[in-house]
C-alpha cells in the first residue's frame, strides 16, 4: 500500500491526485506530496531501515512511489565524513561533510531527485524525460534515462563547463543549449512542458522530484546514529534542497525516529547570485530576481522557484545566510581538498566559504556540531580552479633531474628542519 | 494587439486556447483587457491590491517584467507576453 496520499498546494491547501501536475490551478502555488504518517510509522523503523540496501530507497515509505522503484538502485547513501582537519582549520569542535560529490552514478546530489522523479515518470507512463539544468541535473537525467531506456532531452545554458556538457552528451540524450542564462532555460522549459507530453523532472514532475532531496537529510540523521546536528549549511540555487532537508528532519521527528531539536539551517549563495541571502539580510519576504555573474554556475539561478520556502525554513529554525565571492569560493575548494581530500565544485566551495564566514561572525558557535553539505564534484568543473593550483614541474627522466628539482624546491631542507 | 501565451492552469478561462490576443500599451492594460475578454482571469494573476502574485512570472518578449518596469512595462503591437508559473526548476 502506498503511504503517499496525494498532492496538496503549499499555499491554499487545495488537494490534487498523484498525477504529473506541479502548480495549483487556483493560486499557482507549488504542490507537495502528502503522506499518511500513521501508515509510514508502521513499517519504517530504525531497524527496518538499517536492514535495507544502502541506497536512497531505504526510506521509501517517505518517498512518493506507488510501485517498486525502477532507477537509482545505487544512488544515495553517500559518506558523512567526520572532518577533523577541516574543523581545526576553521577553529571548531565538531564538523561533518555530507559528501554527495561521490553520489552514484553522476557525482552530485541530483542523483537523488532524479532517481525518484524518473521512477515516478515511468510509473505515470511517460516515455520521454527532460529537464532544465545548470549541468548536474542534466548529467543525472541523461544517465538515468539511458539506464531506463527512455528518450531524453536536456536543456542547459550555452556557457557551461565542458565537463558538465560532455557529462550529459556521453549518455546519448539530445542536449539543447540555450542562448541565455538558467532562468531563460527554465522559462522556455515551462512552456515546452506545457506543450509537449514529456516528463520534465523539475517542472511537471517537480512535486515528486523535490521529495528525493529529503533523503540527503534522512541520511545525515541516520549516519549520526539517529541524531541531528545543531547546524547545517546548505547551498541555495532554485531552493529545492534546503526546505526539503528541513522537511526530512521534521518527518523523522514526526514519526519518532529522532528526538533531537531542529537544527539551525543556513543558506549559502555566491555573491554574484544571492537573491535569497539578500532578501534574508533585508528582512524581506519578496525575493528580487538577479542576473547571475559567478563561477558557481551550478547554483547560478537568479530567479529561484522555492526561494520563499528557503527564507521560511531558515527563519523558522533560527539559521542565517551569507554569500561568498568567487575568490573565497576557490579558496574554500582548495581548503576542503587539502584538509579532507574531497574535491568539490564551486557550489561546494560556496557552502564551505559561507560556513567559514558564519563561524567567524559568530552566527555558528564553535563548540556545536556542524554539517557542511557538499552537493557536487570538482572533477566536472576543472576550469574553476585551473589557475589556482600549482602547475606540474616537467623534468627529464634521470634521477639527477629529480634531485636538482628537489634541491631547488627546498622541500628536503624544510622537512629536516621540521624534524629537529 | 499583443500575443499572450496562456499556461495550462489558466486555459479553462480561455476555452483551452494556448495563445490569445489582448490590447494595451502596458502589461497592466493587457491584463485589464484580458479580464474584459475572459472574466475571472485577472484574479488568478494578481493579488487583491493589483500586484502580480508571488508564484506568477510575466515576460515580455522573453524578459522578466521585474527586470523592466513591472506592470508598467511597455507592450507594443505583436509583442509576445508570456505568463509562466514561477514554480519550476532545480538545477
Across the interface, whether the CB atoms of A303 and B91 are under 8 A apart is answered no
- Does residue A19 lie in a domain region? no
Strand partners, A35: A4
Q: For residue A287, what are the domain limits?
A: 80-106+210-387
Average pLDDT over residues A160-165: 94
ipTM attached to this prediction: 0.87
Is residue B68's pLDDT more than 90? yes
Give the C-alpha distances (Å, rounded to integers) separating A374 from A176, A404, B90: 27, 40, 16
Euclidean distance between CA atoms A9 and A32, whole angstroms? 6
In CATH, what number is assigned to the domain containing residue A305?
Answer: 3.40.50.1100
Look up residue B33 and give its three cell numbers.
483587457
Q: Identify the three-state secondary structure at position A344.
A: strand
Closest residue in chain B to residue A186, using alpha carbons only: B89
Number of domains in chain B: 1
Is residue A296's pLDDT more than 70? yes
Is residue A300's pLDDT more than 70? yes
Euclidean distance between CA atoms A223 and A204, whole angstroms? 32
CA B29, B32, B33, B38: dihedral to nearest 10 degrees? 160
Instruction: State the pLDDT confidence band at A328, using cuts at 50, 70 and 90.
Output: very high
The residue with greater pLDDT, A114 or A420, is: A114
Of A113, A180, A308, nearest to B54 by CB-CB distance is: A308
pLDDT at site B52: 92
pLDDT at site A26: 86
pLDDT at site A288: 93
Euclidean distance between CA atoms A187 and A193, whole angstroms? 10
CB A178 within 8 A of CB A132: no
Average pLDDT over residues A56-84: 97
- Does residue A276 lie in a domain region? yes
Question: Looking at beta carbons, which residues of chain B come within 8 Å of A111?
Answer: none
- Does residue A75 lie in a domain region? no
Euclidean distance between CA atoms A373 and A320, whole angstroms? 15
In CATH, what number is assigned to the domain containing residue B10?
Answer: 3.10.20.30
Of B5, B57, B88, nearest to A206 by CB-CB distance is: B88
Q: Starting at the edge strand that comes first in sequence, how are the strands of the sheet with A31-35 ordered?
A: A15-16, A4-9, A31-35
- Does residue B26 lie in a domain region? yes
- Sign of the C-alpha dihedral, residues A290, A295, A301, A306? negative
Q: How many CB pairs under 8 A join A and B?
A: 108
Is residue B89's pLDDT more than 80? no
pLDDT at site A59: 98
CB A130 within 8 A of CB A155: yes
- Does residue B91 lie in a domain region? no
Interface of A with B in 97-126 (CB under 8 A): 110, 113
Look up residue A161 and give its three cell numbers.
563547463
Across the interface, whether the CB atoms of B90 and A303 are under 8 A apart is answered no
Euclidean distance between CA atoms A61 and A86, whole angstroms? 36
Closest of A373, A321, A365 to residue A342, by C-alpha: A373
Place of cell 537568479: A302
- Does residue A201 lie in a domain region? no
DSSP state, A394?
P
Is residue A8's pLDDT more than 70? yes
Place of cell 508564484: B55
CB A63 within 8 A of CB A212: yes
Across the interface, whether the CB atoms of B91 and A135 are under 8 A apart is answered yes
Q: Is the peptide bond before B59 cis (omega within 30 degrees of 0)?
A: no
Q: How close, in Å, is residue A140 to chain B by CA atoms?
A: 11
Closest of B9, B42, B7 to residue B24, by C-alpha: B42
Look up residue B82 and give its three cell numbers.
508570456
The residue with greater pLDDT, A329 or A194, is: A329
Is residue B90's pLDDT more than 80? no
Across the interface, whether the CB atoms of A110 and B91 are under 8 A apart is answered yes
Is residue A36's pLDDT more than 70? yes
Is residue A391's pLDDT more than 80? yes
pLDDT at site A112: 98
- Does residue A24 lie in a domain region? no
Average pLDDT over residues A394-411: 96
Is residue B88's pLDDT more than 80? no
Q: How close, in Å, is residue B88 to chain A by CA atoms?
A: 5
CA A202, A208, A209, A214: dihedral to nearest 10 degrees? 140
Q: A321 and chain B: CB distance < 8 Å anywhere?
A: no
Average pLDDT over residues A286-313: 94
Q: How many CB atoms lie within 10 A of CB A411?
A: 11
Place of cell 514554480: B87
CB A186 within 8 A of CB A223: no
Of B7, B67, B90, nearest to A209 by CB-CB distance is: B90
pLDDT at site A150: 98
Q: How close, in Å, is residue A25 to chain B by CA atoms?
A: 5
Is residue A203's pLDDT more than 80? yes
Closest residue in chain A to residue B11, using alpha carbons only: A25
CB B68 within 8 A of CB B47: no
pLDDT at site B9: 87
Average pLDDT over residues B56-72: 93
Give the C-alpha distances (Å, rounded to integers) separating A21 from A8, A27, A67, A121, A193: 11, 14, 19, 12, 11
Across the interface, whether the CB atoms of A186 and B85 are under 8 A apart is answered no
Across the interface, whether the CB atoms of B89 and A308 are under 8 A apart is answered no
Euclidean distance between CA atoms A230 and A245, whole angstroms? 14
Return all residues near A135 (Cβ < 8 A) that are at least 6 apart. Answer: A156, A160, A161, A164, A165, A167, A168, A297, A298, A380, B91
Give the C-alpha distances (Å, rounded to integers) separating A60 from A55, A81, A209: 10, 24, 14
Euclidean distance between CA atoms A30 and B55, whole angstroms? 8
CB A225 within 8 A of CB A363: no
- Does residue A173 lie in a domain region? no
pLDDT at site B91: 64
Look up residue A136 and give its three cell numbers.
548536474
pLDDT at site A1: 64
* Tally of CA atoms within 13 A in the half-sphere of B22 that contains its CB: 28
CB A292 within 8 A of CB A160: no
Q: Identify the three-state secondary structure at position B54.
A: coil
DSSP state, A32?
E
Its pTM stands at 0.95
Looking at A128-132, A168-172, B58-62, B84-88, which range is the least confident one?
Answer: B84-88
Number of domains in chain A: 1
CB A314 within 8 A of CB A280: yes
Across the interface, whether the CB atoms of A27 and B55 are under 8 A apart is answered yes
- Does residue A401 lie in a domain region? no
Is residue A152's pLDDT more than 90? yes
Question: Looking at beta carbons, which residues of chain A come within 8 Å of B64?
Answer: 183, 187, 289, 303
Across the interface, whether the CB atoms of A137 and B90 are under 8 A apart is answered yes
CB A63 within 8 A of CB A337: no
Q: Identify the three-state secondary structure at position A253.
A: helix
Is residue B30's pLDDT more than 80? yes
Across the interface, whether the CB atoms of B85 and A22 are under 8 A apart is answered yes
Across the interface, whether the CB atoms of A187 and B82 are under 8 A apart is answered yes
Looking at A206-215, A344-353, B9-18, which range is the least confident one?
Answer: B9-18
Q: For residue B30, what are the domain limits?
A: 2-85
- Best of A12, A28, A30, A278 to substitute, by most chain B Cβ atoms within 10 angstroms, is A28
- Does residue A147 lie in a domain region? no
Mean pLDDT rounded to a whole number for chain A:
96
CB B81 within 8 A of CB B74: no
Amino acid at each position: 500500500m502506498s503511504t503517499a496520499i496525494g498532492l496538496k498546494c503549499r499555499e491554499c491547501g487545495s488537494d490534487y491526485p498523484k498525477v504529473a501536475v506541479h502548480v495549483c490551478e487556483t493560486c499557482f502555488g507549488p504542490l507537495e506530496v502528502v503522506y499518511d504518517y500513521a501508515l509510514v510509522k508502521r513499517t519504517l523503523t530504525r531497524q527496518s531501515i538499517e536492514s535495507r540496501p544502502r541506497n536512497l530507497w531505504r526510506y521509501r515509505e517517505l518517498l512518493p512511489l506507488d510501485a517498486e522503484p525502477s532507477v537509482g538502485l545505487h544512488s544515495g547513501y553517500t559518506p558523512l565524513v567526520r572532518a577533523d582537519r577541516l574543523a581545526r582549520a576553521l577553529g571548531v569542535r565538531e564538523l561533518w561533510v555530507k559528501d554527495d560529490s561521490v553520489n552514484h552514478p553522476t557525482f552530485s546530489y541530483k542523483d537523488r531527485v532524479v532517481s525518484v522523479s524518473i521512477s515516478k515518470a515511468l510509473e505515470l507512463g511517460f516515455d520521454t524525460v527532460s529537464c532544465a539544468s545548470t549541468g548536474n541535473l542534466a548529467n543525472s537525467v541523461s544517465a538515468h534515462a539511458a539506464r531506463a531506456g527512455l528518450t531524453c532531452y536536456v536543456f542547459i545554458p550555452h556557457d557551461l563547463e565542458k565537463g558538465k556538457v560532455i557529462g550529459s552528451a556521453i549518455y546519448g540524450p539530445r542536449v539543447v543549449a540555450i542562448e541565455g542564462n538558467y532562468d531563460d532555460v527554465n522559462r522556455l522549459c515551462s512552456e515546452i512542458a506545457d506543450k509537449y507530453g514529456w516528463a520534465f523532472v523539475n517542472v511537471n514532475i517537480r512535486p515528486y522530484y523535490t521529495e528525493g532531496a529529503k533523503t540527503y537529510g534522512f541520511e545525515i540523521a541516520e549516519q549520526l546514529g539517529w541524531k541531528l546536528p545543531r547546524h547545517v549549511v546548505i547551498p541555495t540555487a532554485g531552493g529545492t534542497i534546503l526546505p526539503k532537508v528541513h522537511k526530512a528532519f521534521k518527518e523523522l521527528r514526526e514519526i519518532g525516529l529522532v528526538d533531537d531539536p531542529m537544527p539551525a539551517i543556513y543558506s549559502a549563495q555566491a555573491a554574484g547570485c544571492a537573491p535569497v541571502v539578500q532578501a534574508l539580510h533585508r528582512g524581506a519576504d519578496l525575493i528580487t530576481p538577479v542576473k547571475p555573474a559567478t563561477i558557481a554556475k551550478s547554483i547560478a539561478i537568479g530567479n529561484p522557484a522555492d526561494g520563499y520556502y528557503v527564507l521560511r525554513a531558515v527563519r523558522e529554525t533560527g539559521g542565517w545566510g551569507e554569500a561568498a565571492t568567487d575568490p573565497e569560493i576557490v579558496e574554500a575548494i582548495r581548503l576542503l581538498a587539502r584538509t579532507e581530500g574531497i574535491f568539490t565544485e564551486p557550489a561546494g566551495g560556496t557552502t564551505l566559504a559561507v560556513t567559514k564566514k558564519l563561524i567567524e561572525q559568530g552566527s555558528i558557535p564553535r563548540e556545536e556540531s556542524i554539517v557542511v553539505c557538499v552537493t557536487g564534484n570538482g572533477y566536472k568543473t576543472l576550469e574553476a580552479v585551473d589557475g589556482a593550483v600549482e602547475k606540474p614541474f616537467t623534468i627529464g627522466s634521470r634521477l639527477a633531474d629529480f634531485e636538482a628539482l628537489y634541491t631547488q624546491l627546498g622541500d628536503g631542507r624544510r622537512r629536516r628542519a621540521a624534524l629537529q | 494587439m499583443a500575443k499572450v501565451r496562456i499556461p495550462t492552469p489558466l486555459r479553462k478561462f480561455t476555452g483551452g486556447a494556448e495563445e490569445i490576443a489582448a490590447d494595451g500599451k502596458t502589461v497592466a492594460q493587457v491584463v485589464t483587457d484580458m479580464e474584459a475578454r475572459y472574466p475571472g482571469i485577472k484574479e488568478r494573476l494578481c493579488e487583491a491590491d493589483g500586484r502580480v502574485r508571488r508564484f506568477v512570472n510575466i515576460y515580455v518578449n522573453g524578459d522578466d517584467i521585474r527586470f523592466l518596469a513591472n506592470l508598467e512595462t511597455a507592450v507594443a503591437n505583436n509583442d509576445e507576453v508570456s505568463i509562466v508559473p514561477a514554480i519550476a526548476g532545480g538545477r
